[in-house]
Amino acid sequence: MEYPLTGIKVLDLSRVLAGPYAGRMLAELGAEVVKVEPPEGDMTRNWGKSIGGITGYYNHCNLGKRGICVDMLADGAVDLIKDLVKEADILIENFRPGVMQRLGISYEILAAVNAKLIMLSISGFGQRGPESRRPAFASVIHAEAGLVSRKSVRTGDPHSDYPVSIGDTNASLHGLTAVLSALYLRLRTGEGQHIDISMVDATVATDDQLQYDLDDSHDTGPLPNDVWMTGLGPIILATDFRFFWRCLVDELGISDPTTKEMELEHRIFLRREVTAKFMLSLNTLDQINEVLDRFNIPWGHVREASNLTGQPTLRERQTFVEVDDRAGGKRTVTQSPYRFSNAVSGIRGPAPHKGEHNDKILDEWLAADSKKINELKETGVLLSEDNNI
């Protein structure tokens, strides 16, 4: 079996998360992905635990790639990128709109070099429009897209951000879908494509709760899912409390402590108090399953993220694997989520050091000899961890 994207070449000029994660997924589908970093490196090289000179966050976003380091302001750098683009199928970038033009490597310029190039541009607010030049990280998008406000309304807590970069990962995966679609279209037309993915578009389009806001109809949706403490710890029930309460009363004989004369809020309080006491009496996994399976109620352990390697399904599906930690040992990382019946996917190596593969990429992609490579190093176009930390 082979990887679905074997033979596809990708230049990844992106930084942080939205672009790099799309590049990582392309690598795990078999593409050859070359990360092109600036002299200062990707800022995520400073985020997380460093092992073998590679931090955890950077490692997560750049597994399976090879890396070169290019100073785009040095004479000859633009020509080098153009030469690499001639060999590439895909280019990923997430600069603020206008930066690629200033660098001299806009889509129009690169398409003249390679008409089949598919370029994925991810930005906060799109390539054009009144806010296109605004800088944006995920938190900005969470606020602008209404997620922060809705979270506060539903929980009653003060406004706060989410502990996960929804705005980035939505844009990343929508960008991945668009790139794969463009590859398929290119088979029919022979033409490349410039894909404009905005983080705010991707987040709004993926928001399954937004229609309630647009229709002013939150009262028509299900009640929020509840977390209950059991003898085994907290679990979440994916069901409406009103349904669960009827099951407890009608099927398990739980006594209803309320009367019709009581205020609704007091009735709800008393019923939830009785439910909490019942749930706390469930001390084994068999007891929990016996009750919830009887009513076909989905439920889940409220797990600590640091202990996910022990989750039964993740363990069985080998979602966590070990890769070279660049220091003589192994590092636990998440595996590709793609499972094919007649193809393979998955991590093919660790994340690169800055400029680690300068010589190999120029040799393999451009057939550049050592003289040419040394010239690029001497003029400051090519840099590496050794000579530019």
Per-residue pLDDT of the chain (389 residues; tens, 9 = 90+): 899 999 999 999 999 999 999 999 999 999 999 999 999 999 999 999 999 999 999 999 999 999 999 999 999 999 999 999 999 999 999 999 999 999 999 999 999 999 999 999 999 999 999 999 999 999 999 999 999 999 999 999 999 999 999 999 999 999 999 999 999 999 999 999 999 999 999 999 999 999 999 999 998 988 899 999 999 999 999 999 999 999 999 999 999 999 999 999 999 999 999 999 999 999 999 999 999 999 999 999 999 999 999 999 999 999 999 999 999 999 999 999 999 999 999 999 999 999 999 999 999 999 999 999 999 999 999 999 865 43
What the block records as the tokens of 389 is 């930390």
Contact predicate 353/59, CB 8 Å: no
Task: Note the helical H segments in 146-198.
Answer: 147-155, 166-189
What Rg do the C-alpha atoms of the chain give, in angstroms? 26
Q: Sheet with 382-383: list strands edge to edge.
A: 193-198, 118-123, 90-93, 9-12, 32-37, 66-70, 382-383
State the Cα–Cα distance between residues 285 and 299, nearest whole angstrom. Answer: 12
Name 179's Cβ contacts closer than 8 Å, sequence gap at least 6.
22, 26, 90, 118, 120, 195
The pTM (predicted TM-score) of the whole model is 0.93
